[in-house]
């Protein structure tokens, strides 16, 4: 049986739980903490795979739900897997599709077998079981697969959360049994809502299984940053120190900085690419809304210290013009800037841990990152 991944913690912050690691995967080494851009349908929106490499990314995320519906895992497999299909030489993690299916509240039905749902594309009926979720991800040929889980709303009742934990554990065991020896690594997902006792109990169940990594799911789904951090602060340091720890769907730069301080290693979110399309650009002084009239004649770059393609060549005024004119180049440049910012954020995070100064560094940068948080939430 092949070694699916090798994870090594290289350094820990002496004043907290932050840790610097090295994740060896089939398509290259990934330095942690790491942020994974989201390539929902086999593409990180508005960004060529070669550009992603040049920005410093070696691990991206794909979406099982969307790829199974279009183009279908058989089409991807005929190309030799998702890496060849999309021309990406780096590593790929796919989620199980569960989160997207559970967001189709009026189109799905759950029982112990799995989730029956109708496609948002053509209304066709599908049954996603743990075995099917693993089979799809194996056909995609990805480096890290996620077990099928149940992600209830954060404000669901205790009974619904308990049932979700029970089924998630059962499905996790079925995913492990369904995996072929030749397949990629498989991560288990911890649910439980905002109840810390239930979360800890479910963490014990999932950690007892033979997963290569552990993930916190069911967060950043409307519960608010304070409640999310309560869960991350309680669960992060309690997760197995020998396995990579993945916080799913997070997020904003300040959320990542805080979560790293609680011992998390891996992050993904649509925020940098989605917000770029909405004209929001991240800086160390807080997010900037490029559409604002204040930038109409502003000849400065978005960030004078940024080396991304947008800041190296173009002014705020020009980027505003592209945004208001609905030009495709504007979307591309905004996306490149935000992805560069996130890559630089992770580089600085890793460097601060290496210096043994992460806790102090985080305190210094958080006020700037949160500078215009209220404006950001309106995008």
Query: Which are the contacts of 353, defined by CB distance < 8 A and separation ≥ 6?
Result: 11, 12, 13, 18, 19, 20, 33, 260
Q: Which one, of 117, 120, 118, 182, lies nearest residue 148 by Cα?
A: 117
Which helix or strand (DSSP H or E) is residue 107 part of? none
CA distances from 26 to 2, 16, 216, 263, 292 (A): 10, 31, 24, 24, 45
Active site residue 143: no
Active site residue 149: no
| The CA-based dihedral angle spanning residues 230, 235, 236, 239, taken in that order and rounded to the nearest 10 degrees | 180
Long-range residue pairs from 314-321, CB within 8 A, at least 24 positions apart, any chain: 316/288, 316/290, 319/281, 319/290, 319/295, 320/290, 320/291, 320/292, 320/295, 320/296
Report the alpha-carbon distance of residue 90 to residue 24 in Å, rounded: 12
Residue ranges of E strands in 33-90: 34-39, 59-63
Candidates 13, 95, 149, 255; catalytic one? 95
Report the alpha-carbon distance of residue 123 to residue 126 in Å, rounded: 9
State how beta strands 59-63 and 91-95 pair.
Answer: parallel
Candidates 143, 255, 268, 303; catalytic one? 268
Query: Which are the contacts of 334, defined by CB distance < 8 A and separation ≥ 6?
Result: 276, 277, 279, 281, 290, 310, 319, 323
Report the alpha-carbon distance of residue 272 to residue 339 in Å, rounded: 6
Report the alpha-carbon distance of residue 191 to residue 165 in Å, rounded: 6
Residues forming the active site: 95, 268
């Amino acid at each position: 049986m092949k070694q699916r991944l090798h994870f090594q913690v290289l350094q820990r912050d002496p004043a907290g739980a932050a840790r610097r690691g090295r994740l060896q995967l089939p398509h290259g080494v990934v330095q942690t903490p790491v942020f994974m851009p989201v390539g929902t349908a086999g593409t990180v929106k508005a960004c060529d795979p070669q550009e992603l490499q040049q920005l410093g990314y070696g691990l991206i995320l794909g979406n099982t739900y969307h790829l199974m519906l279009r183009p279908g895992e058989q089409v991807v497999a005929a190309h030799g897997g998702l890496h060849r299909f999309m021309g990406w030489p780096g590593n790929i993690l796919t989620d199980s599709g569960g989160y997207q299916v559970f967001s189709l509240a009026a189109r799905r039905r759950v029982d112990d077998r799995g989730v029956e749902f109708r496609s948002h594309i053509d209304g066709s009926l599908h049954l996603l079981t743990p075995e099917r979720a693993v089979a799809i991800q194996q056909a995609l040929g990805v480096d890290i697969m996620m077990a099928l889980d149940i992600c209830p709303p954060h404000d669901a009742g205790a009974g619904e959360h308990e049932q979700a934990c029970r089924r998630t554990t059962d499905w996790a065991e079925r995913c492990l049994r369904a995996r072929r020896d030749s397949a990629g690594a498989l991560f288990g997902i911890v649910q439980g809502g905002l109840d810390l006792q239930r979360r800890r109990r479910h963490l014990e169940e999932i950690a007892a299984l033979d997963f290569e990594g552990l993930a916190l799911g069911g967060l950043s789904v409307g519960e608010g940053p304070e409640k999310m951090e309560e869960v991350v602060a309680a669960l992060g340091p309690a997760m197995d120190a020998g396995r990579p720890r993945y916080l799913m769907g997070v997020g904003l730069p300040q959320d990542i900085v805080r979560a790293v301080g609680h011992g998390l290693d891996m992050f993904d979110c649509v925020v940098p690419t989605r917000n770029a399309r909405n004209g929001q650009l991240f800086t160390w002084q807080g997010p900037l809304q490029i559409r604002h009239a204040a930038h109409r004649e502003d000849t400065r770059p978005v960030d004078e210290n940024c080396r991304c393609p947008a800041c190296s060549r173009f002014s705020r005024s020009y980027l505003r013009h592209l945004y208001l004119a609905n030009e495709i180049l504007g979307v591309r440049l905004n996306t490149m800037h935000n992805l560069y910012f996130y890559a630089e954020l992770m580089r600085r995070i890793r460097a601060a841990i290496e210096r043994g100064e992460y806790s102090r560094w985080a305190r210094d940068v958080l006020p700037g990152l949160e500078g215009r948080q209220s404006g950001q939430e309106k995008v």
